[in-house]
Amino acid sequence: MKKSEQAIKLLRALEELYPAAECALNYETPWQLLVATILSAQCTDVRVNMVTRELFKQLPGPQQMAAASQEQVEELIRTTGFFRNKAKNLIQSSQQLLEFHQGQVPADLNALVALSGVGRKTANVVLGNAYGIPGMVVDTHVKRLSRRFGWTKEDDPEKIEKDLCRLLPQTEWTQCSHTLIAHGRACCKAPTPQCSRCGVVALCPRKGVARSS
């Protein structure tokens, strides 16, 4: 069986375990998802959802965010960590949206990563979930699991993204990220995977191997 076929077989088994795997961030617009994803760096989705509830009441769109003071935004997002830098990026990216994109979040990866505080991971979250454009999100869980599954040997997220995009059909990219994140949180944890209770251990090429990657 080819490597790609093995990967799809494992992915299908994981999808059966996590049929409801989806983006855990609460949002109603592409801009809200962009903001929530920026805030999710080094922060749990649960905390982000708590913070954005009030944040979006006070600053419901890029116009309001762009006009807000650094101090106001910092106070609203303080509990997400790294709040000073995040506040700066939220204000600047909103100003950039108004200046270059008529206040709309672009459905284009290159345009997204040109915004302050937006890397490929954030851009792919927005593309895949807000616009239905396939995007492979490589967070800490996807990085860890894809290395354990033998889908990549790389350590750099962008190189991992390229490997996974070559391995899997484009139609699988967005949902694959959700599914791997769900499994990473529930079972295939760092530093040691919980193989004894894993529902797909029989399909894992590195079952029982405790490793931090």
Residue 123 falls inside a structural domain: no
pLDDT at 208: 53
Per the structure, the complete domain to which residue 148 belongs is given by: 3-21+137-203
10 and 37 inside one domain? no
Q: Which of 82, 104, 126 is the last residue of a domain?
A: 104
What does the alpha-carbon distance between residue 62 and residue 98 come to, in Å, rounded to a whole number? 7
- Cβ-Cβ contacts under 8 Å for 69 (sequence gap 6 or more): none
pLDDT digits (tens, 9 = 90+) for 158-172: 999 999 999 999 999
Domain count across the chain: 2
pLDDT at 207 over 70: no
42 and 95 inside one domain? yes
Q: Which of 85, 104, 123 is the last residue of a domain?
A: 104
9 and 42 inside one domain? no
Backbone angles phi and psi of 59, in degrees to 5: -130, 80
Average pLDDT over residues 20-28: 97
Average pLDDT over residues 12-16: 98
Q: Are 173 and 136 in contact (CB under 8 A)?
A: yes
**Structure tokens of 40?**
């999710």
56 and 96 inside one domain? yes
* Choice among 45, 88, 108, 139 that is catalytic: 139
Average pLDDT over residues 129-155: 97
Residue 115 falls inside a structural domain: no
141 and 178 inside one domain? yes
CA 178 to chain centre: 8
pLDDT at 210: 46
pLDDT at 211 over 60: no
**Which CATH number belongs to the domain containing residue 149 in this structure?**
1.10.1670.10
Q: What is the pTM of this model?
A: 0.93
Q: Are 35 and 52 in contact (CB under 8 A)?
A: yes
Residue 100 falls inside a structural domain: yes
- Give helix then strand counts, H and E, for the chain: 11, 0
Residue 212 falls inside a structural domain: no
**Structure tokens of 206?**
């590195």
13 and 56 inside one domain? no
Q: What is the percent of the chain with per-residue pLDDT over 70, rounded to a whole number?
A: 96
Average pLDDT over residues 1-15: 94
pLDDT at 128: 98
Q: Are 35 and 55 in contact (CB under 8 A)?
A: yes
* Choice among 86, 121, 143, 163 that is catalytic: 121
What does the alpha-carbon distance between residue 187 and residue 196 come to, in Å, rounded to a whole number? 9
Residue 108 annotated among the catalytic residues of the structure: no
Residue 213 falls inside a structural domain: no
Residue 121 falls inside a structural domain: no
Q: Which of 88, 104, 120 is the last residue of a domain?
A: 104
pLDDT band for 205, please (50, 70, 90 cuts).
confident
Residue 86 annotated among the catalytic residues of the structure: no
8 and 43 inside one domain? no
Residue 164 falls inside a structural domain: yes
Residue 122 falls inside a structural domain: no
pLDDT at 3: 93
